[in-house]
Chains A and B, each alone.
Chain A
Amino acid sequence: MKVKVKLYSLFRLNLKTSEVNYEFENTATIEDLIKRLDDDFSGYFSAKLLNSSEIKTGSIILVNGENIFHIDKLKTKLNDQDIVTLFPPSAGG
């Protein structure tokens, strides 16, 4: 199963990376994906996105444009070819 991760805001600027591609052997959830990212980027993702295993206020995690808050939060299952978009707490107006 292949998943594309698009990085924006501080992720993109601080990690100098705009996209990461992962392959999972079995099923995987957003939680699993964040673990993989943490392994590759020294724990940066859970530090920015999570607050004691909850989604931090203002963090935005989208699967194919839909916020995982309204799917199954961190337990949201990923499917082959999904595009996951990650923003650390950000806002404007």
Chain B
Amino acid sequence: MGKIQEYSVLRVDLTNQTVKRETIAGEKVEKYLGGRGLASKILYDEIDPKVDPLSPENKLIYATGLLTGTAASTGGRYMVVTKGPLTGTIASSNSGGFFGAEMRFSGNDMIIFEGKSDKPVYLSIKGDKAELKDASHVWGKKVNETTDMLIEEFGDDNAKVSCIGPAGENQVLFASIMNEKNRAAGRTGVGAVMGSKNLKAVVVKSDENKVNYDKESAMEVVRKQTKMLKEDGVTGEGLPALGTKVLDNIINSSGLYPTKNFQFGTFDKTEEVSGEALVEKGYLQSNKGCYGCPIRCGRDVKLPNGRAGEGPEYETGWAFGADCGVDDINAITEANFLCNELGIDTISAGTTIACAMELYEKGYIDKEELQNGPELNFGSSESIVYYTKQLAYREGFGDKLAMGSYRLADSKGHPELSMSVKKQELPAYDPRGVQGHGLNYVTSNRGGCHVRGYMISPEIIGAPEKLDPQELKGKPEWVKIFQDLTAVIDSVGMCLFTSFALGLDDYREIVNAGTDFNYNSDELLQVGERIYNLERKFNLEAGISPKEDTLPKRFTEDPLPDGPQKGAISKFEEILPKYYEERGWTPEGQISQNKLNELGL
């Protein structure tokens, strides 16, 4: 038998409560790798892109990457792919930890959930035995409680649990799926789809490692790449020391740290809430890593009141912090812990509350609507904690927050105050300060998002080379390559953070070493391009118009009012036509027949 080529699939029919095994042929794997790419292909082939995301006709796919569970550095990731309820686009959300590797060890490279169970269930995988079990006793329980209870019931402390919390059950449109309590498939509302299917969790423990790859040739490459990751200043020293929160001061000093729902580009209390502050205040306990990771950017944090958990990451700290005008790191961290326990995407939760604060301060939300909840003023640390809880349970005003900022602002007649693209909330970089990154927001296939093509790396950090953030020339080409390469990394099952130190040739080398495939670098990048175009095709057929490739008008009409980038606006409209051309799309944003033929779509 050859090394990794086919994909072993578990197909779980929730309506009829059946589980069966199938295989995906090697040709399809060669064209789409695994993870995000292969699961997107299966979703595209098996559902009508127009289905209601929360109906039984939608499917939910857990997919390990091509190299997940091998020795590849950071090769432990899994992807959840479905049609997203927040955006209506294809949704895929990636998570680390150890669950993905355990799933792969068990011989289940992918799990396809279809239909809807008539009562709460969870999928139990014990060695070769996979079965649906009753989950009534954990329905309503938080992520941490569910995880502990299911591990005890399973009878093996080494079992890994991926589950939803109350937010997923209540179909909060940005509910996450959490594994090992603190790792999140956070964005795009994959947890709401899981909840709509009455599926609470997946518990897995392998009895032997079934990943069949060439360890010897892979290890040679892994040793080299681990050394590269260890010796690189970013992945070897910066990320291990401060985690992602090293970015607070970088982005604030550069003038694109979104503050008070993106009304400003700097936050004067950043020093209080930064990654450095977490260390200096003594809250950081230790750093930790995911499966196979030499970087170890995760952090265990303990607050003075004794509450402990993982986080906050940069995005989370910003969403509940600067974006809500809050400078209380205890409240920010508490809101983060709540999101993990209740199963909520921290970026959308924080930015939706920030949007509500602007609506409230401008008089578009009445005090009565808050039903005795705290006033939604910028700077209110009480509000971020209170409303995070409320939205997970859809209690009081939380029921409106649970729909995300776009639907909330739209219901008040002010959709322009939702800082979102395709109804998904934007992350922690003001697009007026980074022109390429703004173009990436606009063209991201899962709506407002920074990890579909992280242009902050060249435009602010300077890796692999430093680009002027305000320059327009060359940016469409950069964005396209970053988006295609990201699709490759997501499908291989490695962490995006490796790309600060590794390049396309390195990914080719490890893929070829671990599998029977033999790509050259152009071919591998073309796989990424194929995946990107397939996702776009899904979205177009779902009825997402290219007119939605746009930013809230705040970014194109209101110049940044403060900081070193004062006066800047987003000029994405000037470079979008060139981006379409680079992609081989029509001037209207449709994929040309030539491009479809070239990519075999």
> Do these two chains really belong together in a complex?
yes
Residue of B nearest to A66 (CB): B564
Binary CB contact string for chain B from 219 to 254 against chain A (1 if under 8 A, 0 otherwise): 000000000000011100111011111110110011
Q: Among the listed B241, B242, B315, B500, which residue makes an inter-chain contact with A58, where contact means beta carbons less than 8 Å apart?
A: B500
Give the size of the chain B interface in residues (CB under 8 angstroms).
Answer: 46
Given contacts A65-B254, A66-B564, A69-B466, are A91 and B247 in contact (CB under 8 A)? Answer: yes
Is A92 touching B244 in the complex (CB atoms < 8 A)?
yes
Q: Is B382 an interface residue (CB 8 A)?
A: no
Where chain B touches its partner, the secondary structure class is: helix
Binary CB contact string for chain B from 239 to 276 against chain A (1 if under 8 A, 0 otherwise): 10111111101100111000000000000000000111
Is A10 touching B247 in the complex (CB atoms < 8 A)?
no
Chain B residues numbered 527-586 whose CB sits less than 8 Å from any CB in chain A: 563-565
Chain B residues numbered 434-475 whose CB sits less than 8 Å from any CB in chain A: 450-451, 454, 456-457, 460-466, 468
Residue of B nearest to A48 (CB): B233
Report how far A85 CA is from B279 CA in the complex, Å: 20
Q: Among the listed A8, A57, A89, which residue makes an inter-chain contact with B276, where contact means beta carbons less than 8 Å apart?
A: A8
Chain A residues numbered 37-72 whose CB sits less than 8 Å from any CB in chain B: 48, 55-60, 62, 64-67, 69-70
Is A56 touching B233 in the complex (CB atoms < 8 A)?
yes
| B500 shortest CB reach to chain A, Å | 5
Report how far A12 CA is from B275 CA in the complex, Å: 11
Q: Among the listed A12, A58, A62, A70, which residue makes an inter-chain contact with B461, where contact means beta carbons less than 8 Å apart?
A: A58
Q: Is B365 an interface residue (CB 8 A)?
A: no
Binary CB contact string for chain A from 1 to 38 against chain B (1 if under 8 A, 0 otherwise): 00000101110110000100000000000000000000
Residue of B nearest to A16 (CB): B280
Is B246 touching A91 in the complex (CB atoms < 8 A)?
yes
Report how far A13 CA is from B238 CA in the complex, Å: 11
| A87 shortest CB reach to chain B, Å | 6
Chain B residue numbers with a CB within 8 Å of A64 are 564
Q: Is B497 an interface residue (CB 8 A)?
A: yes
Chain B CB within 10 A, most for which of A8, A60, A91: A91
Is B247 touching A88 in the complex (CB atoms < 8 A)?
no
Chain B residues numbered 355-386 whose CB sits less than 8 Å from any CB in chain A: none
Given contacts A57-B233, A58-B500, A93-B456, are A13 and B250 in contact (CB under 8 A)? Answer: no
Is B246 touching A9 in the complex (CB atoms < 8 A)?
yes
| B521 shortest CB reach to chain A, Å | 21
Q: Among the listed B233, B249, B280, which residue makes an inter-chain contact with A59, where contact means beta carbons less than 8 Å apart?
A: B233
Is A92 touching B466 in the complex (CB atoms < 8 A)?
no
Q: Among the listed B233, B279, B457, B564, which residue makes an inter-chain contact with A65, where contact means beta carbons less than 8 Å apart?
A: B564
Report how far A37 CA is from B238 CA in the complex, Å: 20
Chain A CB within 10 A, most for which of B249, B450, B460: B249
Report how far A65 CA is from B244 CA in the complex, Å: 20
Q: Among the listed A6, A8, A89, which residue makes an inter-chain contact with B233, where contact means beta carbons less than 8 Å apart?
A: A89
Q: Is B130 an interface residue (CB 8 A)?
A: no
| A92 shortest CB reach to chain B, Å | 3
Given contacts A57-B463, A57-B464, A58-B462, are A90 and B564 in contact (CB under 8 A)? Answer: no
Binary CB contact string for chain B from 489 to 504 against chain A (1 if under 8 A, 0 otherwise): 0000000110010000
Residue of B nearest to A49 (CB): B233
Report how far A66 CA is from B246 CA in the complex, Å: 18
Is A13 touching B254 in the complex (CB atoms < 8 A)?
no
Chain A residue numbers with a CB within 8 Å of B313 are 92
Chain A residue numbers with a CB within 8 Å of B496 are 93
Residue of A nearest to B247 (CB): A92
Residue of A nearest to B313 (CB): A92
Chain A residue numbers with a CB within 8 Å of B497 are 91, 93
Q: Is B314 an interface residue (CB 8 A)?
A: yes
Given contacts A56-B233, A64-B564, A65-B563, are A87 and B249 in contact (CB under 8 A)? Answer: yes
Report how far A15 CA is from B247 CA in the complex, Å: 19
Report how far A65 CA is from B247 CA in the complex, Å: 14
Given contacts A58-B234, A60-B462, A67-B466, are A92 and B276 in contact (CB under 8 A)? Answer: no
Given contacts A9-B238, A9-B241, A13-B276, are A91 and B457 in contact (CB under 8 A)? Answer: yes
| A60 shortest CB reach to chain B, Å | 6
Chain A residue numbers with a CB within 8 Å of B563 are 65
Report how far A13 CA is from B564 CA in the complex, Å: 25
Report how far A87 CA is from B457 CA in the complex, Å: 14
Report how far A60 CA is from B232 CA in the complex, Å: 15
| B565 shortest CB reach to chain A, Å | 7
| B522 shortest CB reach to chain A, Å | 24
Given contacts A91-B457, A91-B500, are A59 and B564 in contact (CB under 8 A)? Answer: no
| A89 shortest CB reach to chain B, Å | 3
Is B238 touching A58 in the complex (CB atoms < 8 A)?
yes
Residue of B nearest to A85 (CB): B253
Chain A residue numbers with a CB within 8 Å of B500 are 58, 91
Report how far A70 CA is from B456 CA in the complex, Å: 16
Is A93 touching B314 in the complex (CB atoms < 8 A)?
yes
Chain B residue numbers with a CB within 8 Å of A93 are 244, 247, 314-315, 450-451, 454, 456-457, 496-497
Residues of A at the B interface (CB closer than 8 Å) are: 6, 8-10, 12-13, 18, 48, 55-60, 62, 64-67, 69-70, 85, 87-93
Residues of B at the A interface (CB closer than 8 Å) are: 232-234, 237-239, 241-247, 249-250, 253-255, 274-276, 279-280, 297, 313-315, 450-451, 454, 456-457, 460-466, 468, 496-497, 500, 563-565
Known pairs A89-B234, A93-B315. 19 more at Cβ < 8 A? A6-B253, A8-B249, A9-B246, A10-B237, A13-B242, A58-B232, A58-B463, A60-B461, A65-B254, A67-B254, A69-B462, A85-B253, A87-B250, A88-B237, A90-B242, A92-B246, A93-B450, A93-B451, A93-B457
